[in-house]
Amino acid sequence: MKNNQSIGIFDSGVGGLSVLQHIHQLLPFENLMYVADSGHAPYGCQDESYIEQRSRVITEHLLAQGAKTIVIACNTATASIIEKFRQQYGIPFIGVEPGIKPAIAITKNNNIGVMATTGTLFSDRYNELSRRFAGSVNLYNQSCPGLADQVESGLLDTPETIKLLEKYLSLLMAKQVDTIVLGCTHYSFLKVQIQKMINDSIQLVDTSRAIAEQLVRVLEQEALKKTSESGSIRYFTTGSIKNTQATINRLLNREVVVNCLP
């Protein structure tokens, strides 16, 4: 591999754009390829064999395009396939997982809420993570069906989205949590709405930037970091180009061109 090769990033849809933004900020010289598997979203309610099949199709597309490393910007896919793919493909894979460890570092009353998809919360990887870091704190897991779908459609402020948020947040606040972990990359785009609904004393944990920082460390360790010339970003989707492009434009607040994944 050469350091001028691209970095691949994928998610079940547009949620991983929250990670992409931090990667581009920290690594402005890198060429990035983002794949939104919007035609098969969400992953959170799918079984592991389906998630592996979709992740493999996308991974092999990114490798064919010359990816030197791949970021799985999806909690559910990370939990399902990252260890297997690291062994099979022989390149660095960076994954995401709910930020339980940083939440434990900042909680004051030891009551932590975790908002995530059903697939993430019932995965072996998440259960292992919980056992490893939870210790004496109380973890309250909140599955959030429908929430990622709203972000996927770019519907951040609609009555339906607000209703879903009120429902899930009220359940966590009833447990007197003082820290809430955003365990799905899609939820990062709802931080403004969430902060309006929770007490000022409740802190949000979003690991999007931490994932980008981990990518920087891996590239430096593997001598793969690109350090000159401006980088580019290419976007691909398996869903409707028109709809995905409109959603990405709305979420990133800029005009982008989205291509069809072959």
Q: Where are the domains of the chain?
A: 6-96+209-260, 100-206
> Per-10-residue mean pLDDT for the chain, 262 residues long?
91 95 96 96 85 97 96 93 95 94 94 93 89 86 95 94 98 97 95 95 95 97 92 96 95 95 83
* Predicted pLDDT of residue 1: 72
260 given a catalytic annotation: no
Which residue do the tokens 């360790």 mark?
221
Predicted local confidence at residue 262, as pLDDT: 76
Class of domain 6-96+209-260: alpha beta
In angstroms, the CA 119 to CA 123 distance is 6
Cβ(101)–Cβ(133) below 8 Å: yes
Q: What is the pTM of this model?
A: 0.92
Residue 45 appears among annotated catalytic residues: no
* Same fold? 6-96+209-260, 100-206: yes
Q: What does the alpha-carbon distance between residue 180 and residue 199 come to, in Å, rounded to a whole number?
A: 11
| Dist CA 221 CA 83 (whole Å) | 19
pLDDT for the residue 119: 85
Q: Could you say which of 45, 144, 184, 260 is catalytic?
A: 184
The residue type at 258: V
> Catalytic residue among 45, 74, 144, 260, which?
74
Strands 111-116 and 179-182: parallel
The predicted structure's pLDDT at residue 187: 96
* Domain boundaries 100-206, corresponding CATH code: 3.40.50.1860
Residue count of the chain: 262
What is the per-residue pLDDT for 15?
Answer: 94
Contact 24, 256 (CB under 8 A): no
